Amino acid sequence: MNKIRYVQRKCSDKEKINDFLTSSRVGVLGMNDENSPYAVPLNYVWYHDSIFFHGAGSGRKELILSKEPKVCFTVFEEFGTVLDPMPCHADTSYMSVMLFGQIQRVMDFEESANILDQLVEKYTPGYYKKGLSAKMMEKYLSDLDGNPTSVYRLKPTDITAKENVVEEDELFKSGDRI
């Protein structure tokens, strides 16, 4: 695994990384479609030290993952542009986490129901009174193609994180001038 070259930006704080992955809403799944990269933004949940997401039981993503399960999942947030008197020293304030490993499709209906409950609660907290059941997952079909909904797990074998944290007054605001 390649290591972070710009070591000043490396984040090793496991609690900070965990909080970031828990609170962020969208990640990008990078896959290898034979000789061509393919990246898809996804809603996800960070749960039990794994990334989980779901999708239709067919389509390009499903086909790629069935052939090549090695992936990279990236979550990032940009907080603003860092001011500097020298224009070429302009930078951004950000946090990013990259997770590497192999995707596994969750085949157990009980586990799939639990994961979808976690996703639902993340994106619509407290809205639904009743959770999903294994029986429902067994019968739940995608609206797109009538195939069973797929739930995936990425248990990372490697995680890298970078950040550039600055004070609010160091960030550019519209109208700022030197």
| Long-range contact pairs involving 116-124 (C-beta distance under 8 Å, separation at least 24) | 116/54, 116/149, 116/151, 118/45, 118/47, 118/52, 119/43, 119/44, 119/45, 119/52, 119/53, 119/54, 122/25, 122/45, 123/25, 123/43
- The pTM (predicted TM-score) of the whole model is 0.86
Q: How far is CA 173 from the centre of its chain?
A: 28
Q: Tell me the helices (H) and strands (E) count for the chain, helix number first.
A: 4, 8
> Do the beta carbons of residue 58 and residue 122 sit within 8 Å?
no
> Do the beta carbons of residue 22 and residue 49 sit within 8 Å?
no
3 bridge partner residues: none
Q: pLDDT class for 2, splitting at 50, 70, 90?
A: low
Query: From CA 63, how far away is CA 154, in angstroms rounded?
Result: 17
Q: State residue 129's pLDDT score.
A: 82
Query: For residue range 135-160, what is the model confidence (pLDDT) as tens digits?
Result: 777 666 555 555 678 899 999 999 99
Q: Where are the domains of the chain?
A: 7-166
Handedness of CA 114, 41, 70, 19 (dihedral sign): negative
Query: For residue range 68-119, what is the model confidence (pLDDT) as tens digits?
Result: 999 999 999 999 888 877 777 778 889 999 999 999 999 888 999 899 999 9
Q: pLDDT class for 8, splitting at 50, 70, 90?
A: confident
Question: Quick one: CATH architecture of 7-166?
Answer: Roll (2.30)
